[in-house]
Copies of this chain bind each other. A is one copy, B any other.
Amino acid sequence: MLEAALYLFPVGLSDSAMTEVLPQVNIDLLRQVRHFVVENLRSARRFLKKVDRNIDIDSLTFTELSEHTPASEIPAMLAPLERGEAIGVISEAGCPAVADPGADLVAAAQRRGLKVIPLVGPSSILLSLMASGFNGQSFAFEGYLPIDDSARTKRLKEMQQRILRERQTQIFIETPYRNNRLLAELCQRLPGNMLLCVASDITGPKQSIITRQLSAWAKATYDYNKIPTIFLLFS
Contacts and interface: CB of A to CB of B under 8 A. Distances in A.
Interface string A34-56: 00000000000000000000000
Nearest to A199: B118
A130 B23 contact: no
Contacts of A197: 110
Contacts of A81: none
A132 B120 contact: no
A20 B119 CA distance: 9
Given A99-B137, A126-B125, A133-B103, A209 B168 contact: no
A20 B127 CA distance: 19
A22 B122 CA distance: 11
Contacts of A125: 126
Interface stretch (A57-65, A138-146, A176-184, A221-229): A138-146
A25 to B, nearest CB: 4
A110 B210 contact: yes
Contacts of A96: 130
A212 B107 CA distance: 10
B131 A118 contact: yes
A120 B127 contact: yes
A103 B207 CA distance: 19
Interface in A182-220: 197, 203, 207, 209-212
Contacts of A17: 25
Contacts of A108: 133
Nearest to A142: B138
A78 interface: no
Contacts of A109: 133
Contact of A209 (B20, B118, B122, B142): B118
Contacts of A22: 23, 120
Interface string A104-130: 101111110000111011110111111
A229 B164 CA distance: 29
A90 interface: no
17 contacts: A8-B130, A8-B131, A19-B23, A20-B23, A21-B23, A22-B23, A95-B136, A98-B136, A103-B136, A108-B133, A110-B132, A110-B133, A117-B131, A117-B207, A118-B126, A123-B126, A125-B126
